Structure 1
Amino acid sequence: MAEIRIRKTNEIISGEEKVRDFLNKYEVIYEHWDTEKLPHELRENFSLTDEQKAAVLEAYQSEIQDLAARRGYRTWDVITLSEATPNIEELLAKFEQIHTHSEDEIRAIVSGAGTFIIKGDEQTGYFDVNLVPGDLISVPENTPHFFTLTDERKVVAVRLFVEEDGWIAHPYEDPAFQK
């Protein structure tokens, strides 16, 4: 299950209900998908072929269709990031810049782990949402954030989009942010 670390205080929030309650305050959607639906041969594979990515999407077709109906998503894909990813350092450097989008950014972690760093209110400041397989998060449009990998540096995630070209990042300068 996801775990939250508030950067100002190092407070940790864990447990599905507590995580969901905290994220709800910031209009961040948190859900959990059944990881048992994913075929065993895909669970720790971080170099997926197009056919294997299609199999991931098929495994979670009902969840994807449910989200698309509720939230207006029109397209989706699977992203894989690991040491085997060409130009991983350049991709991470691009991802690890605070930005906003004109639509929500949603990811369902299928394998591996990742972290969303999200700007909360003035009192809370930035917080990390550490995600593991089965965790789904949707960061609202215009919310300053970025996504990065954990120390294991590998993730497979389903992404959903309203715009067919995907998210467009708008840089967000915040001198108060500390990495």
Structure 2
Amino acid sequence: MAEIRIRNTNERISGEQNVKAFLDKQEVLYEHWDAAKLPEAIQEKFILSDEEKAQILSTFNQEITDLAERRGYKTWDIIALSDATPNLDELLKKFEQVHTHTEDEVRAITAGKGIFIIKGTDDVGYFDVELEAGDVISVPERKPHFFTLMDNRQIVAVRLFIETEGWIAHPFEDPSFQKA
């Protein structure tokens, strides 16, 4: 289950209902899918063939279709990152810049762990959403954020898009943001 850390106070929020309630107030969608539905052979696999990616999409077809219909997403894919990913460190540097998009940024984690750093309301400031397999999050368009890996540096996620060419990051300069 996802866990939240509010950066200003170091307060932690855990438990699915508490996380969902907090994220609802921040206008961030949070849901949970059953990651155990995946065949065991790919539950903790981070280098995937095209066939294995298709198998993940097929396994979660109902959940993806439901979310897409509710939120207007038109296309989706799989992203798999690990130390075996070419140029991973350069990729992460690109990800680890606060930015916005003109559409939601959606991740449904199917394996591994990742973290969204999101700018909340003025009274909350920046907060981290630590995600693991089964967690689904949608950061609304124009909400400053970035996504990166956690210490294990392994993740597989379904990404959903409205624009068929995928999202484009728009840098967000914020002098109040401090890296953890």
Pairwise TM-score range, normalised by the shorter structure: over 0.9
Provide the C-alpha distance between the structure 2 equivalents of 1:6 and 1:68, rounded to a whole number of angstroms.
Answer: 29
The TM-score with structure 1 as length reference comes to 0.99
Q: TM-score, normalised by structure 2?
A: 0.99
Counterpart of 2:163? 163
Query: Can you give the 5+ residue segments of structure 2 that lack an aligned partner in the other structure?
Result: none
Aligned to 2:144: 144
For 2:68 and 2:123, locate their aligned partners in 1 and report how far apart those are by CA, in whole Å: 34
Q: Which secondary structure does the structure 2 equivalent of 1:160 belong to?
A: strand
Residue type matched to 1:42 in 2?
Answer: I
Contact 2:119–2:144 (8 Å) recurs in 1: yes
- Please name the residue that 1:13 is paired with: 13
SS in 2 for 1:9: coil
Q: CA deviation at 1:26?
A: 1.2
CA RMSD of aligned residues (A): 0.5
Q: Which residue of 2 aligns with 1:32?
A: 32
Counterpart CA distance in 1 for 2:26 and 2:141 is 11
Please report how far the alpha carbon of residue 37 of structure 1 lies from its aligned counterpart in structure 2 after TM superposition: 1.1
- Name segments (4+ residues, structure 1) moved above 3 Å: none
Shift in Å at residue 156 of structure 1? Answer: 0.3
Partner of 2:2: 2
Q: Deviations over 1:27-77 (max 9, x none)?
A: 100000011211111111100011100000000000001011111111000
What is the percentage of aligned positions where both structures have the same residue?
66
Q: Distance in 2 between matches of 1:97 and 1:122?
A: 20
- Show CA shifts across 1:118-164 (max 9, x none): 00011111000000100000000000000000000000000000000
After TM superposition, list the pairs within 5 Å mapping 1:1-179 onto structure 2.
1-179=1-179
Q: Distance in 2 between matches of 1:23 and 1:143?
A: 13
Give the match's secondary structure for 1:80.
strand
Question: Quick one: distance in 2 between partners of 1:20 and 1:123?
Answer: 18
Tell me the distance in 2 between the aligned counterparts of 1:61 and 1:12: 33
Q: Which structure 1 segments of 5+ residues have no match?
A: none
Amino acid at match of 1:61: N
1:108 partner letter: A
- 3-state secondary structure, aligned to 2:164: coil
Q: May I ask how many residue pairs the two structures share in their alignment?
A: 179
Rounded to whole Å, the distance in 2 between the matches of 1:106 and 1:22 is 18
